[in-house]
Chain A
């Protein structure tokens, strides 16, 4: 995939500030996400990347600055509001209910109900339809899990993460935010999740990927947003920059101005 330098901007943030007491986590951070891209967000601990993601996903409310979705100013007060606006977030380690089936996990919080009075008054869920839809959606994303009726805890770590990502992708209208989706996974399992993230992008969704894993970031990101000291240090093009230069910007050893022009993404 080439960098979508002319793709429209889906999500944007301008001058975000977030302070926690004496600590300034975000210090005028800017952010841009283009349609149909995988944007990796990297940064050292304390660089403000998780505060940035929290502000975008509605988990925290920034003190200053503005967030735009499709050009419209938005003010999320909770992750649930962000979700209603079409932004799905997969939180690290917090994604699934292990003893429940894959189908139930996919539809958790938006269960399909039986038609008529059984669904409306008696709140009965339509297990058959949820199962069929789960199979269709997982096939759509080519997640090869045989039975949607097995408990999530019977799956491997990578498969579990795939279920969480697939759930987000199946319901997101605009943006999928993934927080360290390949952390704690083996090589093969990590690749399985990366493949899935690519397919999510190829469906036309925009993906924000927070990751510490540089090889993974360079493997699938279309652009890389480097957070540093609560600001955006640079947005780089992984095809035209080395991993060591990227890390240098991240740690402050190099400034964005010192990078060759083609290394910067627009």
Chain B
């Protein structure tokens, strides 16, 4: 009974912030262009697609799952929405809705295979990763869709705060983060996501329909990938069948760097935003330093392993 009630934030909560600050400090010393409002606005713009994908990924990882298909599903969504608008002349909102419907459908398929057929998420999404990739290539003939209506790139437009141009998509991403963070923290379904990740059997025995929680998480993640599709189209001005390849692993990296445990049930979605920013800062900083992109991939790989190791070690400490 003499347990201390003083609760220091665990390293998993503060660690990502410290890592982000250290990374910024480092790159500030390496390049004078790094520390500028313009550059930070650019980093935000560069992370907005992966940032929104990573929200969906966070939800899934919180339930102790994983989604390897996220980036490919996003690419399929962007090809679908652009082709529906350019080839079939669908009105922009309808085309966007169709793209989001397709990514949500993929989420539903992932979720049904995980909950009804009881397959491990890793295998399921490895399968849908390939299916989504093939579907994207076949449907687009591996051609980038460039003839897209103006309405579809609205989120890529900018507004100014002082001299700094900020992309609307970034604002959308931040809003989605806040909304998800709030829902996970303050609502009943949100808490059930944590409970399922923490102890699925105990959660089921309290009468919570754990399969329903899991299924809605996968479906919701699919919807987030659809919004990311739209952001990707808005940012690049095209429906790119080869998009999503770096985002696929970057999203998982962002979640893990953000302090969410791969074992489920622990983590804060705002940490994922920090994780996405860490990935973005490294990419941006190394580019400014003139380091080749292969080294950037190398650094990302090392970062993930470091983050998972920290997660594993801090869990052992808590036992």
Interface residues of A (CB under 8 A from B): 79-80, 83, 89, 91, 94-100, 104, 108-111, 113, 122-125, 127, 144-147, 150, 153-156, 159
Contacts and interface: CB of A to CB of B under 8 A. Distances in A.
B205 A125 contact: no
Interface of A is mostly: loop
B3 A104 contact: no
Please tell me the size bucket of the interface on B.
Answer: 20 to 34
B3 A154 contact: yes
A79 B5 contact: no
B199 interface: yes
Given A96-B199, A96-B202, A99-B265, A111 B5 contact: no
A97 B3 contact: no
7 contacts: A83-B207, A97-B195, A99-B198, A111-B188, A123-B189, A125-B188, A150-B7
Interface string B264-277: 01100000000000
Interface in B152-193: 186-189, 191
Contacts of A99: 194, 198, 265-266
B191 A91 contact: no
A80 B208 CA distance: 9
Contacts of A95: 202
A100 B318 CA distance: 13
A199 to B, nearest CB: 16
Nearest to B194: A100
A113 B7 CA distance: 26
B161 to A, nearest CB: 31
Interface string B46-89: 00000000000000000000000000000000000000000000
A125 B1 contact: no
B206 A108 contact: yes
B319 interface: yes
A98 B199 contact: yes
A127 B189 CA distance: 14
Nearest to B202: A94
Given A97-B202, A99-B265, 13 more contacts: A79-B205, A80-B207, A83-B207, A91-B202, A91-B205, A95-B202, A97-B203, A98-B199, A122-B187, A123-B187, A123-B188, A144-B1, A147-B5
Contact of A98 (B187, B191, B198, B206): B198
Contacts of A145: 1
Contacts of B199: 94, 96-98
A100 B198 contact: yes
Interface in B186-231: 186-189, 191, 194-195, 198-199, 201-203, 205-208
A99 B197 CA distance: 10
Contact of A108 (B5, B201, B203, B266): B203
Contacts of A83: 207
B187 A108 contact: no
A124 B182 CA distance: 10
Nearest to A158: B1
B318 A113 contact: no
The 8 closest A-B pairs by CB, nearest first: A109-B206, A97-B198, A80-B207, A123-B187, A123-B188, A147-B5, A109-B207, A97-B199
A123 B1 CA distance: 34
B92 to A, nearest CB: 30
A150 B195 contact: no
